[in-house]
Amino acid sequence: MEMKHIFREGRKDRPVLLLLHGTGGTEQDLLPLAGLIDKEASVLSVRGNVLENGMPRFFRRLEEGVFDHEDLVKRTEELHTFLDEAADYYQFERDNVIAVGYSNGANIAGSLIFHYENSLKGAILHHPMVPVKDSTLPKIKGLPVFIGAGENDPICEPEETKELKAILEKAEAEVELFWENQGHQLTEREVQAAAKWYESQFLAFE
């Protein structure tokens, strides 16, 4: 397995939270977030394999807001394969993985949804962009997706958020969009909204 990561085993009957950091983050960054979403879930927190001026990322970009599409596809495949290998190695259910991503991490999680059927059981995407324009999505009917967005986000503008929601809904995903009156930062209120959504989607029938 060629991605630096942390795995913490939780209850077998809970999902595995796949934590995906933003630009310049590490596999440590979102661990507190996992505790707020589900203290009893297993956690697989991954560091991106790409460096931009010394800052870890999950894929290259040509400039801010412009993705290197070829590298995005390659790195998405790399992460998808890593999840298969990690499930085998750590003995968790491969079809029970829920991504929790912020910014660049949300974008690679979105790319998994755009490129692979059944790669994720659900996703919490904090401040994502549309990973691939004009693409045909695989079958994701009923896939639960939470999007957290900032009304004043200069990096991921509201129009981008609305476009991503529309694309996912056209492919019949079940999308909940939460607007925060902030910029690109991740707020406590947004995390609380994601945790409430997660509980309703994955813990309501316990």
Whether 184 is a known active-site residue: answer: yes
**Phi, psi values for residue 168, rounded to 5°:** -65, -40
Task: Compute CA 28 distance to the chain's CA centroid, rounded to the nearest angstrom.
Answer: 15
Whether 80 is a known active-site residue: answer: no
Q: Which of 5, 69, 80, 184 is catalytic?
A: 184
**Token pair 């902030």 in the structure block, residue:** 182
Q: Which of 21, 42, 45, 103 is catalytic?
A: 103
User: Quick one: CA torsion of 191, 47, 98, 142, rounded to 10 degrees?
Assistant: 100
Whether 103 is a known active-site residue: answer: yes
What would the DSSP string read from start to end of 47-107? --SEEETTEEESS-EEETTEE-HHHHHHHHHHHHHHHHHHHHHHT--GGGEEEEEETHHHH
Q: Which of 42, 111, 127, 153 is catalytic?
A: 153
Residues forming the active site: 103, 153, 184
